[in-house]
Structure 1
Amino acid sequence: MSTTVLVVDDNEGIRYTLKEICRFAGWRVVEAANGMEAITFFDIMKPDLILLDYHLPNGDGVSTTKSIRKRNKHIPIIILTADARQEVADSSMEAGATDFAIKPIKAPDLIARLRLNLKLSKLTADHHTAYVNKGIKQDTLMTIKNYLFAQQKAVTIDELKSALPIAYQTIHRYLTYLESKGEVEVIAQYGSKGRPKNRYRLI
């Protein structure tokens, strides 16, 4: 089992359930009961993904996320909570979480969410050096890739611009870069008149 998931929750029963779900998916699990333990185990075990409860003793989900982000900018951190308030989700994402889910979450949904985050993390790791050397900002690139990944069909630059707070020219530059890396397919859509409109799909 090459993938390690750090499960952080002060409730032993919830930790056990999350551990069994992760093991069913074929992942190794490391457990922590609070924020301080999470940081210690993160430093020692170097997990591939963190499943983190929002309400924790000795460092809640937000402060723990911030501490981990100082150590690693890219590891997926998924925060789980029974608190469905928008401000809880906002504070989690602002702290650096990559995803947020409301408890209870069904096993198939959780596994799918973890697989998606692991896949996106691998894409980031594989090309991180190239992004820096090319002057491409990783956060912007991952925002565009995350959006493309979530779409069921190819989209235009205008559709990307409407959904994301990124300028048209910037989106075009990043899509051109992704196309050169073989990560994006460009599909020309011909209308009844005028030039064809390009649509983009993550490969």
Structure 2
Amino acid sequence: MKILIIDDEKSLRYMLGEICKYAGWDFVPAENGKVGLDIFQRENPDVVVIDYHMPEMDGFQTLMEIRKLNYHVPIIILTVDERQEIADQFINEGATDFALKPVKAPDIIARIQLHIRLTNMQETKEKHEEVFATKGISKKTLQHIANYMQSLDQPASVDKIAKDIGLAYPTVYRYIMHLLENGQARQVTSYQKIGRPKMLYQWYTN
């Protein structure tokens, strides 16, 4: 994981770099917003830490420029200003978090870890949504069929399920196949006295 540290104070850049080393993260320091913006485009960091009061480009300007390039990367703002309106303004402009100086290692490490986890969760969610879209699966319809199957006392045919929930046979069949692939449903063979065996389906519980 790579952390971009944008702060005009050399001592604070050094301290934050040591904190990153302690946490096992790579870091890239920048002495002002313009340099930080160039590094951001080149290095593609996982988290950005920005000081509020800086020459060249202050924290607000740097934040807004980075957000033009990337809307999702976590951005943590550092400042000695404790006014709530300042924190609110940063959050409204796209900051992910707001931390007061003097920086304390346990606090900044916890904040970075939290936002990395949240980002990973969001990326996982988006990947799942991409899979659903690729397969033409609607979450709402899938949940509707799953709820119905969970309510059944015994296996049912695709025809019965389709009739009971008011959906077309091909649609129900496709969703049940999806549930089978994901191990959420199972197929049961019902042998008839006359004719071919009939395929029935039920919700799978371990």
Please state which band the TM-score falls in when normalised by the shorter chain: 0.5 to 0.7
Q: 1:134 to 1:93 in 2, by over 3 A?
A: farther
With the length of structure 2 as denominator, give the TM-score of the two structures: 0.61
Q: How does 1:17-96 map to 2 (within 5 A)?
A: 17-96=15-94
Give the superposed CA RMSD.
1.7
Write out aligned runs for 1:138-149 (5 A): none
Q: 1:101 aligns with which of 75, 84, 99?
A: 99
Tell me the alpha carbon deviations over residues 109-149 of structure 1, each in whole angstroms, 9 at most, x when there is no partner.
111111001111111222225457879xxxxxxxxxxxxxx
For residues 116-135 of structure 1, the aligned pairs below 5 Å read 116-131=114-129
> CA offsets per residue over residues 10-51 of structure 1, 9 Å max, x none?
000011001100110000010001111111000000000001
Distance 1:134 1:90 in 2: 36
Where 1:64 maps in the other structure, the secondary structure is helix
CA gap 1:127/1:36 in 2 versus in 1, 3 angstroms: same
Q: Is the 1:74–1:124 Cα contact (8 Å) retained in structure 2?
A: no
Amino acid at match of 2:70: N
> Is 1:9–1:15's contact at 8 Å kept on the other side of the alignment?
yes
Count, aligned residues: 133
Cα distance in 2 between the residues matched to 1:97 and 1:129: 24
Q: Does the CA-based 8 Å contact 1:55-1:61 persist in structure 2?
A: yes
- Match for residue 164 of structure 1? none
Measured in 2, the distance between the counterparts of 1:134 and 1:111 equals 35
Looking at structure 2, the residues matched to 89 and 67 of structure 1 have their Cα atoms a distance apart, in angstroms, of 18
Question: Which structure has the larger Rg over C-alpha atoms?
Answer: 2
1:67 and 1:123 map into 2 onto residues whose CA distance is 25
1:6 to 4, 7, 28: 4
Q: What is the alpha-carbon distance in structure 1 between the residues aligned to residue 63 and residue 47 of structure 2?
A: 12
Secondary structure class of the residue paired with 2:95: coil
* Structure 1 counterpart of 2:60, one-letter code: V
- Any gaps of 5 or more consecutive residues in structure 1? 136-203
Q: Taking structure 1 as the reference length, what is the TM-score of the superposition?
A: 0.62
- 1:190 is aligned to none
1:110 corresponds, among 108, 111, 129, to 108
